[in-house]
Amino acid sequence: MKNIGFIGTGVMGASMVRNLLKNGFNVSVYNRTKAKAEALKDDGAVVCDSIKECVKDKDAVITIIGYPKDIEEVYFSEYGILANVTQKSYLIDMTTSSPKLAEKIYEKAKEKGLQALDAPVSGGDIGAKNATLAIMVGGDKDAFDACRPLFEAMGKNIVHEGKAGAGQHVKMANQIVVAANTLGVCEAISYTKAMGIDPEIMLKTIETGAAASWQVSNNGPKMCKEDFAPGFFIKHFVKDMKIALDECRDKGIRLPVLEEVCAMYVDMENSSQGDLGTQAIIKKYSK
Backbone angles phi, psi at 112, to 5 degrees: -95, 10
Helix extents (H) in the chain: 11-22, 34-38, 51-55, 68-76, 81-84, 99-111, 124-130, 141-154, 166-194, 199-206, 214, 220-225, 234-251, 256-268
- Nearest alpha-carbon partner for 144 in 161, 130, 157: 161
224 and 189 Cβ atoms separated by less than 8 Å: yes
Looking at residue 233, what DSSP letter applies? B
Helix (H) or strand (E) holding 7: strand 3-7
Closest CA to 253 of 244, 241, 266: 244
CA distance 194 to 205: 18
Rounded Cα distance between 286 and 272, Å, is 18
How far is 108 from 115, CA to CA, in rounded Å? Answer: 9
Catalytic annotation, pick one of 58, 171, 235, 239:
171
Q: Compute CA distances 277 → 121, 158, 209, 231, whole Å.
A: 17, 25, 26, 6
- Taking the C-alpha atoms of residue 257 and residue 241, their distance in angstroms, rounded to an integer, is 11
Pairing status of strand 26-30 against strand 121-122? unpaired
Any catalytic annotation for residue 239? no
| Whether 90 contacts 35, CB under 8 Å | no
Provide the annotated active-site residues: 171
